[in-house]
Amino acid sequence: MTEPIYNSRDLRCKSPYGAAASGTPVKLTLRPLRQEGYSRALLTARFEARKDEILTIPMPWSGLDGDRDQFSCVLDTEGYVGLVWYTFTLERLDGKKSRQLGPYQLTVYDGGEEVPAWFGEGMTYQIFPDRFRRTRIPDPAGMVGGRWVHAAWQEEPEYRPDQNGEIRNRDFFGGDLRGVMEKLDYLRSLGVTTLYFCPVFEAAENHRYGTADYSRIDPMLGCEEHFSTLCEKAHSLGMRVMLDGVFNHTGFVSRYFNGDGFYPELGAHQSQDSPWSSWYNFQQWPDRYESWWGIYSLPAVNEHDPSYREFIFGGENSVVRRWLRAGADGWRLDVADELPDDFVQGVHAAARAEKPDAVVIGEVWEDGSTKVAYGVRRRHILGGHCDGLMNYPFRGAALAYLRGGDARDFMEAMETLRENYPRFAFYSAMNALGTHDTPRILTLLGVGNECRDRSREWRSSFRMDPDQRRRGKELLKLGAALLFAFPGSPTVYYGDEAGMEGFEDPFNRRTFPWGHEEPELLDWFTRLGHLRQESAALRRGGIRYRVSDGPLLAFTRTCGEETILAAFNTGDQTAALRLEDGERVQLLLGAARFQSAPQGHTLTLPPRTGSLMRLLAGQEEGTAYSD
């Protein structure tokens, strides 16, 4: 392949690599072949956050490198935070414009703050509280929302609409905080270091994303004392706790909106003199109001309202600070791209003020560096906002690869993120194969698609046949190895390690199958969790791709003297991976086999497998290592 004139990922062309902290001089170099006869080059840079200010910078000839001319300049980023879009123009001896390259993206971020590393280095476990574990069958009498409780833990979640055609999500199973406490040793045995809870505050619906009272743990889960005790016990086992902050909307049934009159105070829906009236945007009071995605039960709040801001993050007793003080260690911001940038910045500042090592992770489904929402380029990962994002691009690229896509597409998607993201954001990403908003990963891999062409009735009762489940387990083990080997926090949705299956919500939110876990998967996830804890290279090492071709993907993670080789084969045939001169391996996990031959050492990778190995040096010829 002919070397390009400019490659933004090549340090000979751009230094430093990727995003640059504000004030960092960025050296840019073009490297055309001498025979092409270019005599002059120009850089044109558009500073998006400076009202699209454009600078044109000459790139004088800076020497020869073999058969290539070099034209270089330095781009000054002093005092700037935002995206820079830059292009190059190359001219020949006659002065005519001969060639243009670009545009390319440069992310310039505020590097003045050190981002805590604990989240990205460890394993995260996502808990949907109502469905994880219960210690008793609760009595819902007197609780908000007219909820009801399934008597049997193994029953199916309700998915059919009521007599009014609404899916109300008022069926509960009664999972509680005591239940989580009972299973802390189990979670620790998996290697979990962060417990991420879907919302725990009082709410009418089982998912609790329509908050009814930010000051109160939902009584079906327990109370504030239970929450603080849970945090204390988790901390004693080396685990931290992350809460879900749903600040873009509240519940229709809430203390603040009080659409059904459950609370004694006058809510915004009952009186325009309510202390919370300014929190909401009414087109016609009381029944026409802005809501999240048009869902009437989730009235949207006005995040610019001073009293709402004061309530969420403004004072010492704000929601953000109070619950950190009660024991939490960070916040995941629901629909972060639907919150104003300065609101997110306020949450971040409040969190750091309460706990200097608290982290804020944002829910964003796309490349967070280029995300535009409501016509505004978001500042999510430019410093002082989100410390990391939910990495749905990783999930999309990994799922495509696992289902037969080209490994090169996975590599390209992930290298684009690595180039666009500040290092802190790339290494603090919440990487996951499945969440409460996606079908179960085992089902997707075993079946191959979401079966949206079938009825919900069919999807509700569907269970994979033995062949589908076998294939799903093979690919999930491969995908989990990829997840734990990749930079960022490997995040496991509760029950994926136990072999839970199901299509979309609520079939992906069934109760945890205690006593009926899938032993093969549970053992695999446990071993991955412990490898992550034991290996500095997996927690914080740099990444270098070795192969990305069809079903074959391999990369290394290196930190200090330790290098881990991760190799994957999604194909139906055995694949071979050639090692570099002198390399040998110690197999840590998987089915790869080392083979020595006169023409070089190779690894044999069975179909649909992933393996993690430690690279060794100076071993005797032909020695193979295993676990």
Question: Position of tokens 């809460």?
Answer: 243
- Which residues are CB-neighbours of 562 under 8 A, at least 6 positions away? 535, 536, 537, 541, 614
Tokens representing 40?
């002059």
CA separation for the pair 482, 498 (Å, rounded): 18
pLDDT band at 627 (very low <50, low <70, confident <90, very high): very low
Q: How far apart are CA 3 and CA 26, in angstroms?
A: 22
User: Please, which pLDDT band fits residue 1 given cuts at 50, 70 and 90?
Assistant: low
Which of 226, 228, 200 minimizes the C-alpha distance to 214?
Answer: 200
Tell me the Cα Rg of the chain.
27
| pLDDT above 70: residue 623 | no
pLDDT in tens, 509-530: 999 999 999 999 999 999 999 9
**For residue range 395-418, what is the model confidence (pLDDT) as tens digits?**
999 999 999 999 999 999 999 999
Give the mean pLDDT of 127-140: 98
Among all chains, which residue has been given the structure tokens 């945890």?
512
SS (H, E, C) 64-129: EECCEEEEEEEECCCCCCEEEEEEEEEEECCCCEEEEEEEEEEEEECCCCCCCCHHHHCEEEEECH
Residue 144 has pLDDT above 60, yes or no: yes
Structure tokens at 551: 């079903």
* pTM of the predicted protein model: 0.96
Beta bridge partners, 358, equal none
**pLDDT, the chain, mean:** 96
Q: What is the pLDDT of residue 618?
A: 44
pLDDT, tens only, 268-283: 999 999 999 999 999 9
Q: Which of 153-167, 364-378, 427-441, 465-479 has the lowest mean pLDDT?
A: 153-167
Is residue 161 very low, low, confident or very high in pLDDT (cuts 50, 70, 90)? confident
Chain segment 172-184, per-residue pLDDT in tens: 999 999 999 999 9
Could you say which DSSP state residue 260 is in? T
Task: Output the pLDDT for position 625.
Answer: 35
Mean pLDDT of 604-622: 80
H-helix or E-strand spanning residue 585: strand 584-589
